[in-house]
Amino acid sequence: MYQDEKLVCEDCGAEFIFTVGEQEFYAEKGLVNKPKRCPECRKKRRQNNRRPRKMYDAVCSKCGAQTQVPFRPLPDREVFCKECFAKETSEN
């Protein structure tokens, strides 16, 4: 039913293959339009659309190192640096 199809990226003009597997995936998800961008341009576009996370300064409750976390630290909650967090999660 499906067969590989050559498409042209509207951003960079490169040809790319819309594979049978991708077409089946699109059909399964109810998507009716073919992709307009090649995989590389789709990836770049997704990365550019991401909002940068606000990071907060904190002090690790375990080792005392300065660190940054993606949430506002609360005085009554422990905060761990990456290394201590990895140790905590591997122990549990």
Regarding whether 60 and 77 lie in a shared domain, the answer is: yes
Regarding whether 44 and 65 lie in a shared domain, the answer is: no
Spell out a b/e string for 64-83, using b for 16 or more CB atoms within 10 Å of the CB, else e: eeebebeeeeeeeeebbbee
pTM exceeds cut of 0.75:
no
Query: Looking at the 3D structure of the chain, how many domains does it have?
Result: 2
* CA diameter of the chain: 61
Domain that holds residue 73: 56-91
Average pLDDT of each block of 10 consecutive residues along the chain (92 residues)?
Answer: 95 97 96 96 90 91 95 94 88 70
